[in-house]
Each structure stands twice: as structure tokens, then as C-alpha cells.
Copies of this chain bind each other. A is one copy, B any other.
Amino acid sequence: MSKFWSPRVRELTPYTPGEQPRERLIKLNTNENPYPPAPGVGAVLRNYSTDHLRLYPDPESGALRQALAREFGVEVEQVFVGNGSDEVLALAFQAFFCQQRPLEMPETTYSFYPVYCRLYGIERRALPLTANHEVDLAAFATDSGGTIFANPNAPTGHGHGRKAIAELLKRVTDSVVLVDEAYVDFGGESAIPLVVSHPNLVVTGTFSKSRSLAGLRLGYAVGSRELIEGLTRVKDSFNSYPVDSLASALAIAALEDNEHFEACREKVITTRERTRTRMEKLGFHVLPSQANFVLVTHPEHDAAQLFAGLRERGILVRHFNTEALRDFLRITIGTDDEMESLIETLETLCG
């Protein structure tokens, strides 16, 4: 605590990201893709002229936004890019959710959302999940200051279909609805086709998961022109060039290789379903997941102890020490070999 800090900064409780260990561990804790990025990424990297780095990037990130616009079948003016979807989300909180009325979100969802609320002084209303651990779309009010949720949700893995989101958008028309699709490519259904007809919908996504580029920090938002313009106003009042030239070129290469993308996500989905069956045999309750992780709990074994036992044996998963999640472990889907090691270790730990 320092007298030199702004008053609000003294009250902040920053977000805690998953550990990035230095030792060699089987790393199933931060939902990274176990497969490398598309081969074209390496080709662009090796041929990139470093002389180009002396120049500032295009402040509008035109080429990357064009590539995403083509990918999603929208206009370039409907696409925003930023330094990871965390930055895109933070700018969206400023652009849309600093309102008189509270922002609504599920009680259990991406734990960065409440951190943004504290940073920007936004009042937050948290709504319980359903008994099935699903986001309760029917519970969102029509007169809130905004609505945000991850779909598929984190760390539960459940995703609502486009039809359910469309139903929500029929009711909530006076404030922004932000659907965070960080995990959608592992079996979810994207709401992006709905942006055409809903001026208050913004959908965010990332290159960190299905595109295997977490190290590059690239995220995006797709929405109506007026929402993207609002985001851009905030971005241009914060940092003119958040996306670096090299990262942009590499991300475009990743987008161009659809075959690699499809192959990787199918492998992850197949491994996830196999992992789920194996874990259920060990007595775990495994929540159905459309993401590249599973949330699991065991009726007879303490999650914190399992976490510690796995860590000791070189396997890192995620345990959230909150009331709602204390009994669960969130396990990223790795390669088949990694998941085999996990299962074997859990067999030992669960006796």
C-alpha cells in the first residue's frame, strides 16, 4: 500500500492467472492447446524481415481485421482486435459497461470479469448457475447495465446453442450483451451470425486456444459497427497500436490453415471425450464440456488434496479456492499421452 497510488488502486484485488511453471511438468492448468500452431506460422516467422520492425504497426490492424472478417463472413468495420482477448474484454468493460445500472454475469464464470468491475468501478450483479451448472439465460434482467458470460462457460464447460442466445437477445435489447467465445471452437456454437441483426451483441474470441497462439496475445471482438466503433474509441484513447506487426502476420498465417485448425480441434475433442469416460470409471463426476477442459469432482476425494498429489507427481491442473469451486478440479485437455499419465496418476491417488 502506498500513498502515491490512486485511491481505487488501493482497493484492487488483481486477477490471478494460472501458474506458468519453470520446471518440466505436464501442464494442464491454463487451457493451452497441446498442439503447435499451423506450419505456415513458422514459415512466416522465418521469412519475416526484422527491418520492418523499426516501423510502427498499422494502427487499424487492417490486414488482420480483414482476415477475421473473411473468416466470419462480416464486414471489416465489425471486427476489432487487441492484445489478447483479456485486453479486448477490459476495453469492452470501459466502452459499454460503465453505466448507472449494474452489469449482470453468472456467479461462476471467467474470474477476470469481477476484476474489471473493480478496476472501473462497475456495480456487478451475480446470478447463480442452474442446478445443472449451466448459465441461466432466463435469469438475466432486461433493464441491467449490460450482460456478460462466457459461452461455453468457464470453468464449467457448458455452452448454450445459438438459438438460446437469440432468445436472450429478443428480451435484452437496451444494453450490450457480450458473449465471450474463448472456447467455442471445441464443440460450441458461435453467436457471431447473430451480430447482423442485433446491434447490442458483441462476441469476443481469441487466438490463444484453438489457434495455439497464447504466447502471441491476440484476441478479437465481432459486433455491430456502432459497438466496434465504441471499442475503437476507447482503444484509441488508451493505446494506438496494441497489436504488433509480427504477431499480426503470424495470426493471419494461422487463420489461413483451416485443415490444421480442424485437425487439432478434433483431436482435442476426441481426447476430451475419452478422458471423460476414463475419469467416470474412476468415480469422478465430469461436467459435460464443449471446451478444451473438463471440470471434475470426486465424491470421496478432496480436490485440493488431489491437486497437491498431482503437482507432486509432475502434473499441474487448476484448483480454484472459492466456495462454488472448492470441490472441483479444472483439467485442460492435453495430448493422449499426457491424459494417459493423468489417469494413471489419478488411479494411484484415488487408490
Binding site for B on A (CB under 8 A): 2, 4-9, 12-15, 17-18, 20, 27, 30, 32-37, 41-42, 45-46, 48, 50-59, 83-84, 86-87, 90, 94-99, 115-116, 118-119, 175-176, 199-200, 208, 212-217, 226-227, 229-230, 232-247, 250
Contacts and interface: CB of A to CB of B under 8 A. Distances in A.
Given A4-B175, A41-B50, A14 B217 contact: no
Contacts of A116: 237-238
B98 A8 contact: yes
B53 A216 contact: yes
Contacts of A244: 215-217, 244, 247
A96 B83 CA distance: 23
A215 B5 contact: no
A99 B246 CA distance: 38
A37 B213 CA distance: 24
A41 B52 CA distance: 12
Given A5-B96, A12-B237, A59-B17, A54 B41 contact: no
A87 B242 contact: yes
Contact of A57 (B20, B238, B243): B20
Contact of A15 (B14, B240, B250): B240
Closest 10 CB pairs of A and B: A14-B236, A6-B98, A215-B245, A53-B215, A2-B226, A54-B212, A36-B51, A17-B240, A5-B230, A119-B237
B84 A215 contact: no
B36 A54 contact: yes
Contact of A9 (B13, B208, B233): B233
24 contacts: A2-B230, A4-B96, A4-B230, A5-B96, A6-B96, A6-B97, A7-B98, A7-B99, A9-B233, A12-B233, A12-B234, A20-B59, A32-B54, A37-B51, A54-B215, A55-B215, A56-B215, A83-B83, A86-B240, A115-B237, A116-B237, A119-B238, A217-B242, A217-B243
